[in-house]
Amino acid sequence: MDGLETPKIKAGIRELAQQCASIGPSPSLVSLLVFLRGSQMDVRWIKLKTSMFDDEKIKLIESMPDKDSILIIWIKLLVQAGKCNATGYIYLNETLPYTDEMLSTIFNRPLNTVRLALSIFQKFGMIELNEDGAIYINNWEKHQNIEGLEKIREQTRLRVEKHRRLKQIEHTVTEKVTLRNATDKRRKEKNIKSRGKENRFSPPSLDDVKKYCSERKNRVNPEKWFDFYQAKNWMIGKNKMKDWRAAVRTWEKSTNKQEEKPWYEKSSTIS
């Protein structure tokens, strides 16, 4: 599609290039054409001045034998350029320009008449044919729906702006969610570590056991209790001891019946 990359089409697209940011940082002219056609499909009419038949070229055409057919073909070319909406270029798609035969079929006019009209338009400077055979309408801006194009440019600008704003909001929300998830994860890990420290068993000293038994005034022998569990590596059955005070209270149930006096009373009597 290099044949379409002429100064005319470059000039025609330059003012709209800023609206094509979604295509990429350096879109090709073909990509721009595709974008323009997709974003301007609402342009459904072209302008024809009431002074059209005062133009010298049109008057010259009107003096020809096939004037009516040639003028109809000119109008149809303008309409086709409007449908293509590619700044004045006429082609079936971005890689396939119209042939004379195609235009004859589309315009429902004899092939010889179409060829005659194209040659006259080209001779009068009304159209140009590039090396790929694509037809370009000279002074296309005279026939454009400028108001419609301006409206579409504004709609496109607002649409792109809204899209970018939504993307920014989405990005911000994603960052906040990610940060919140990371914070929650750290908090959970911290709580797990804290619970682990809280649940970690720390064996008492013999003095701790003596003091606790004295406070409860039970008949548990602290030394006997301490030596027993220390020898068992502070295990109760197959499980690690979690609360040594609870273990002392369990011993109370059996020792209160067996021992006549609390251990501290026996110790004071012996001394």
Q: Where do the domains of the chain lie?
A: 2-149, 206-270
More confident position, 197 or 5: 197
Pick the CATH number of 2-149 from 1.10.10.10, 3.40.50.720, 3.30.300.30, 3.40.50.620: 1.10.10.10
Q: Which of 9-18, 143-152, 221-230 has the lowest mean pLDDT?
A: 9-18
Residue 199 pLDDT grade (very low, low, confident, very high; cuts 50, 70, 90) = low
Bigger pLDDT: 241 vs 12: 241
Structure tokens at 23: 């295509």
At residue 70, the pLDDT reads 94
Quote the pLDDT of residue 77.
92
Distance of alpha carbon 44 from alpha carbon 249, whole angstroms: 94
User: Tens of pLDDT along 224-249?
Assistant: 999 998 988 999 888 889 899 998 99
User: What strands lie across the sheet with 89-93, from one edge to the other?
Assistant: 96-97, 89-93, 135-137, 127-129
Mean pLDDT across 74-89: 87
- 125 in helix, strand or coil? coil
pLDDT at 158 over 50: yes
More confident residue, 173 or 26: 173
First CA to last CA distance, the chain: 114
Give me 150's structure tokens.
């301006």
Residue 4, number of CB atoms within 10 A of its CB: 23
Q: What's the mean pLDDT in 93-105?
A: 90
Mean pLDDT of the chain: 76
How much is the pLDDT for 16?
Answer: 44
Contacts of 124 (CB under 8 A, 6+ apart): 57, 60, 61
Q: Which residue type sits at 124?
A: F
User: In 3D, which of 83, 14, 79, 92 has the Cα closest to residue 42?
Assistant: 83
